[in-house]
Amino acid sequence: MGIPVEQILIQTINGLVNGMILALVASGLTLIFGIMDVVNFAHGELVMLGAFTGATTLAVTGNFWLALVAATLIVAMFGAALQISTLRPLIGRDPLTTILATFGISLVLQKYALWQWGPSARKLQEPISAQFSLFYLKYPWYRITTALLSAAIIGALYLFLKYGKYGIWIRAAIQDRVMAQAMGIPVPLLHTAVFAIGAGMAAASGVLFGPLAGVTQTIGADFTLRAFIVVVVGGMGNLGGSILASIFISLLEAYASLIVSPAQAVIVSFVALILTLLFRPTGLFVPTPK
């Protein structure tokens, strides 16, 4: 049984689009881990929260782009509040306690979403309904836009970290927290800011993801797990690595779903994770440590 070339090409594009959305989630997660050693178990829940906030805003205003911006800002502020109330008291404790605390938060958020928005799936109306023909398929332009927009947000983050004044502060705090503090950088404030940025990026990907599939309160756990896999495969705390890993893992899953059902295709990424941990525990896309 051969697989037609068109299908492989279509899956390549699907994989790239999904990979860019995932990269948006994972880069926030890895940034948060890099600066404060916090493994945010509630990251997927922020994606979910963003998607629901976006859906509500869209229903009120009817403007998708406004919903995207509003959801990003609201969830970013929420993230800052979350960091101040639950993660700031844990600074200096065992990093494992942050897993526990964020796990507790994820439970609360998931059930809150169920209570607030109900169990039925919501689908956001896509802002661009145009399609172009790809072999025998009509491929929606919206998916392509999503990938480009995700890339733009990540690119902006990269430029901000590289050249922005506060970006340089963040990078300094990642390298050496104590020294950065000694130089007068307000590290606790930076932690809150980075958490807010990560939360905002998660929310943005939630809104972008909304039109592609139904939004339910359970998508959070799925995103958390996939983002974890990507972040570990790409090398924890490594921004470029996790972006490449997002694309790599999504492509693998897209190709695998040509052969098995999508539910089983997830196993391919699990196996990729295990192989990475066995042979290159520092991450696939980082230089070999000396």
Partner 1 sequence: MRHTDASYWIGFCVILALLAVAPLVLPEFWRRFVTEILIWGLLAMSSDILIGYTGMVSFGHSAFFGLGMYGAAAVLLAIKPANLWLAMLAGLAAAAVVAMFVAYFATRLRDIYFAITTLVFSQIFYVIIFTWTEVTGGENGLNFSRPALAIPGLFSVPFTTETLHWFVLAVVTVSYLVVRRVTQSPFGMVLQAIRENEPRARAIGYSVERYKMVAVMLSGLFAGLAGILYAIQNKFAAPDFVFFLISGEVVIFNVMGGMGTLVGPIAGAAFFLLLREGLSRYFTEYYLIPVGIIFTAMVIFMPQGLLGFARRRLNQ
Minimum separation from the CB atom of position 125 to partner 1 (A) = 29
- Residue 71 beta carbon to partner 1: minimum distance, rounded to whole angstroms: 22
CA pair distance 257, 265, nearest whole angstrom = 5
- As a 3-state breakdown, the chain gives helix, strand, coil percent values, each rounded to 5, of 75, 5, 20
Euclidean distance between CA atoms 212 and 207, whole angstroms: 10
SS3 call for 17: helix
Nearer to partner 1, 3 or 271 (CB): 271
Phi-psi region of 99 (alpha: psi -120 to 50; beta: other; left: phi over 0): alpha
Whichever of 29 and 208 has its CB closer to partner 1, that residue is 29
Min dist CB 281 to partner 1, Å, is: 7
- Residue 42's Cβ-side half-sphere holds a number of Cα atoms within 13 Å equal to 27
Shortest distance (Å) from residue 80 CB to partner 1: 17
Contact flag: residue 258 with partner 1 (CB under 8 A): no
Choice between 111 and 162, CB closer to partner 1: 111
- The owner of tokens 């699990």 is 270
Our finding on whether 236 is near partner 1 (CB under 8 A) is yes
CB of residue 66 to partner 1, shortest distance in Å: 30
Q: What x/- string results for residues 93 through 132 when contact with partner 1 is judged by CB under 8 A?
A: x-xxx-xxx-xxx-xx-xxx-xx-----------------
Using the structure block, give the residue that is written with the tokens 């963003």. 50
Binder to partner 1 among 1, 92, 163, 261 (CB under 8 A)?
Answer: 261
Q: Count Cβ neighbours within 10 Å for each residue of 16-37 and write b for 16 or more, e otherwise.
A: bbbbbbbbbbbbbbbbbbbbbe
9, 59, 61, 89: residue in contact with partner 1 (rule CB under 8 A): 89
User: In the window 39-68, what residues touch partner 1 (CB under 8 A)?
Assistant: 39
134 forms beta bridges with 137
Return the number of the residue (185 or 265) whose C-beta is nearest partner 1. 265
What is the token pair recorded at 103?
């796990």
DSSP one-letter string for 28-54: HHHHHHHHH----TTHHHHHHHHHHHH
Give the nearer residue to partner 1 in terms of CB position, either 100 or 182: 100
Cβ-based nearer residue to partner 1, 110 or 150: 110
* Residue 86 lies near partner 1 (rule: CB under 8 A): yes
- Of 13, 19, 51, 269, the C-alpha closest to 154 is 19
> Distance (Å, rounded) from C-alpha 275 to C-alpha 51?
33
Choose the binding region for partner 1 from 54-62, 149-157, 189-197, 258-266 (rule: CB under 8 A): 258-266
Answer for which of 73, 81, 225, 252 binds partner 1 (CB under 8 A) is: 225
Q: Is there binding between residue 281 and partner 1 (CB under 8 A)?
A: yes
Residues 11-40 that bind partner 1 (CB under 8 A): 39
* Cβ neighbours for 90, distance < 8 A, ≥ 6 positions apart: 97, 98, 101
- Positions touching partner 1 (CB under 8 A) are 39, 86, 89-90, 93, 95-97, 99-101, 103-105, 107-108, 110-112, 114-115, 221, 225, 228-229, 232, 236, 261, 263-264, 266-267, 270, 273-274, 277-278, 281
